[in-house]
């Protein structure tokens, strides 16, 4: 039981202190108990605790946050839709894209391309986009037309002696073959996390994203960047798409948007998508979609203050500097007998454990890495998380050099105690 948090630390009921090495669920960017966020929520609670955004109504915090998002995100993304979670946001994206293609008179253009091991949420549509078997099994998912392409992780899915460049070329060829086989006129959008996080911390191979972007442009397929984890500086760049050099038509953000102090997600998208929907509603009918809590005033007030803090304290620059230090420190464990691969970017890192470094045989017995993260991690005072055989780290973006060195040292002790 975790009962309080402060800065990069949380404390259990017995008062034991832990470094929150995963920022909760990859999300508490500005750290715990930030007084400015508490104050922003308090003030908004007093002024207007709730109002909606339906039927020509609006309120200041949601408008101001939408403006801020348009200012911060890459050029061309200038319309905003709020939901309360990343899953709801991705469901909304599916509906927006479908509505748009119906409005444009091409109702057959509905399929999504996603990747195995991608994570986009757990609701019916977003869970279908997710590419993890345990999110599908026994739920009858996927329930929407989606094709999962090969996970772009060279260490696990590259063929023997295949260079990273050749791996990228093979993945792009696969994507184009699927597009041509299905017919581009049936494919609506490609969705991906810039760096796949929840599926096991997997940065893309060199050249992957520009290649995917080119394919999307060539075949008139919308490109959706799911930045729920990567957005607002996690990788040391403003957004994951900026980090890897591509421009999406639709961006999905959450988590770092409010540092998870309030549930909030924002879809930021192009005027082209907006106009296709808005221009046609008179003809085909209202875009009948929205949630009671869309743009919730307290959540958006907290989000706005959170983004101001990220800018004023240069937390994106800090994530770049501290991220480089953390990646360097962890790469020192690449020779550790348990470690198959150390990977990541900025303040997201993963250590994949193997039973045999030469053959990459998965670490066993099953569940041991979870125990390392849970039991040994707790004993060492470092909360991290296992994703299969990968130990994942994603500390708050306020970490200092001393904090990073301590995280790296504790991770080393967790490895040594298990070896
Ligand atoms: N998209 C990505 C990339 C995520 O990592 C997550 C959650 O971890 C989601 C979507 C779903 O967000 P939520 O849990 O808020 O529904």
pLDDT at residue 365 greater than cutoff 90: no
Give pLDDT, residue 25: 97
Give pLDDT, residue 238: 98
- Which has the higher per-residue pLDDT, 370 or 392? 392
Taking CB atoms and a 6 Å cutoff, what residues make up the pocket around ligand 1?
A: 85-87, 90, 119-121, 193, 197-198, 226, 228-229, 254
220: Cβ contacts below 8 Å, ≥ 6 apart:
184
- Rounded distance, CA 90 to CA 98, Å? 12
DSSP string, 81-96: EEESSHHHHHHHHHHH
Taking alpha carbons only, the member of 56, 76, 58, 78 closest to residue 67 is: 78
Q: How far is CA 366 from CA 137, 288, 388, in A?
A: 19, 46, 8
Could you report the per-residue pLDDT of 199-221, keeping only the tens digit for each? 999 999 999 999 999 999 999 99
Q: How many angstroms separate the alpha carbon of residue 15 from the centre of ligand 1?
A: 30
Under 8 Å between Cβ of 286 and 368: no
- Rounded distance, CA 233 to CA 29, Å? 9
Q: Rounded to the nearest 5 degrees, what angle is found at the Cα of 123, between the Cα atoms of 121 and 128?
A: 75
Give pLDDT, residue 373: 81
pLDDT-based confidence at residue 38 (cuts at 50, 70, 90): very high
Q: Whose CA is nearest to atom 12 of ligand 1?
A: 86
- CATH code given to domain 2-30+314-418: 3.90.1150.10
Q: How many angstroms separate the alpha carbon of residue 87 from the centre of ligand 1?
A: 6
Percent of the chain with pLDDT over 70: 100
| Mean pLDDT, residues 88-96 taken together | 98
The CA dihedral of 262, 307, 227, 377, to the nearest 10 degrees, is: -70
- Rounded distance, CA 12 to CA 281, Å? 52
Give pLDDT, residue 181: 98
Q: Rounded to the nearest 5 degrees, what angle is found at the Cα of 410, between the Cα atoms of 408 and 411?
A: 65
Percent of the chain with pLDDT over 90: 93
Q: How many angstroms separate the alpha carbon of residue 120 from the centre of ligand 1?
A: 5
- Average pLDDT for the chain: 96
Give pLDDT, residue 146: 98
Q: Give the nearest ligand 1 atom to 25 CA.
A: 8
Give pLDDT, residue 293: 96
37-312 CATH pick, 3.40.190.10, 3.40.109.10, 3.40.640.10, 3.40.50.970: 3.40.640.10
pLDDT-based confidence at residue 366 (cuts at 50, 70, 90): low
Under 8 Å between Cβ of 70 and 82: no
Q: Give the nearest ligand 1 atom to 84 CA.
A: 15
pLDDT-based confidence at residue 364 (cuts at 50, 70, 90): confident
Under 8 Å between Cβ of 31 and 256: no
- Rounded distance, CA 237 to CA 256, Å? 13
Q: Give the nearest ligand 1 atom to 252 CA.
A: 1
| Mean pLDDT, residues 352-365 taken together | 90
**Per-domain boundaries in the chain:** 2-30+314-418, 37-312
Phi, psi of 278 (to 5 degrees): -65, -40
Half-sphere exposure of 187 (CA within 13 A, CB side): 29
- Which has the higher per-residue pLDDT, 161 or 56? 161
Give pLDDT, residue 1: 94
Can you give the pTM of this predicted structure?
Answer: 0.98
| Mean pLDDT, residues 48-66 taken together | 94
pLDDT-based confidence at residue 371 (cuts at 50, 70, 90): confident
- Rounded distance, CA 266 to CA 256, Å? 11
Structure ipTM over 0.90, yes or no = yes
Q: Rounded to the nearest 5 degrees, what angle is found at the Cα of 206, between the Cα atoms of 200 and 207?
A: 120
| Mean pLDDT, residues 142-159 taken together | 98
Phi, psi of 190 (to 5 degrees): -115, 130
């Amino acid at each position: 039981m975790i009962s309080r948090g402060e800065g990069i630390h949380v404390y259990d009921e017995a008062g034991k202190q832990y470094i929150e090495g995963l920022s909760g669920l990859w999300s508490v960017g500005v750290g715990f108990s930030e007084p400015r966020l508490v104050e922003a929520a308090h003030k908004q609670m007093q002024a207007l605790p709730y109002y909606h955004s339906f039927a020509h109504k609006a309120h200041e915090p949601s408008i101001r946050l939408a403006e801020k998002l348009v200012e911060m995100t890459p050029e061309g993304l200038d319309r905003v839709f709020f939901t309360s979670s990343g899953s709801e946001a991705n469901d909304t994206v599916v509906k927006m894209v479908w509505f748009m293609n119906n409005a444009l008179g091409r109702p057959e253009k509905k399929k999504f391309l996603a990747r195995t091991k991608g994570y986009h949420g757990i609701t019916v549509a977003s869970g279908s986009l997710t590419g993890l078997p345990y999110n599908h099994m026994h739920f009858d998912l996927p329930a929407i037309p989606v094709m999962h392409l090969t996970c772009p992780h060279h260490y696990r899915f590259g063929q023997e002696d295949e260079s990273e460049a050749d791996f990228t070329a093979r993945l792009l060829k696969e994507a184009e073959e699927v597009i041509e086989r299905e017919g581009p006129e049936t494919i609506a959008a490609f969705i991906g996390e810039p760096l796949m996080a929840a599926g096991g911390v997997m940065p893309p191979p060199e050249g992957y994203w520009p290649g995917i972007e080119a394919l999307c442009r060539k075949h008139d397929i919308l490109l959706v960047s799911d930045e729920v984890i990567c957005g607002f500086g996690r990788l040391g760049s403003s957004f994951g798409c900026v980090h890897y050099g591509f421009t999406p038509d639709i961006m999905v953000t959450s988590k770092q948007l409010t540092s998870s102090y309030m549930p909030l997600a924002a879809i930021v998208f192009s005027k082209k998508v907006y106009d296709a929907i808005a221009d046609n509603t008179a003809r085909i009918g209202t875009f009948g979609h929205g949630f009671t809590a869309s743009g919730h005033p307290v959540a958006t007030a907290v989000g706005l203050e959170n983004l101001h803090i990220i800018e004023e304290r240069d937390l994106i620059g800090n994530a770049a500097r501290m991220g480089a230090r953390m990646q360097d420190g962890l790469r020192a464990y690449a020779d550790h007998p348990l470690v198959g691969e150390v990977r990541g970017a900025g303040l997201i890192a993963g250590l994949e454990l193997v039973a045999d470094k030469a053959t990459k045989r998965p670490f066993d017995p099953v569940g041991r890495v979870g125990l390392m993260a849970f039991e040994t991690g707790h004993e060492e005072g470092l909360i991290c998380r296992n994703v299969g055989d990968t130990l994942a780290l994603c500390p708050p973006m306020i970490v200092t050099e001393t904090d990073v060195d301590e995280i790296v040292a504790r991770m080393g002790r967790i490895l040594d105690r298990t070896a």
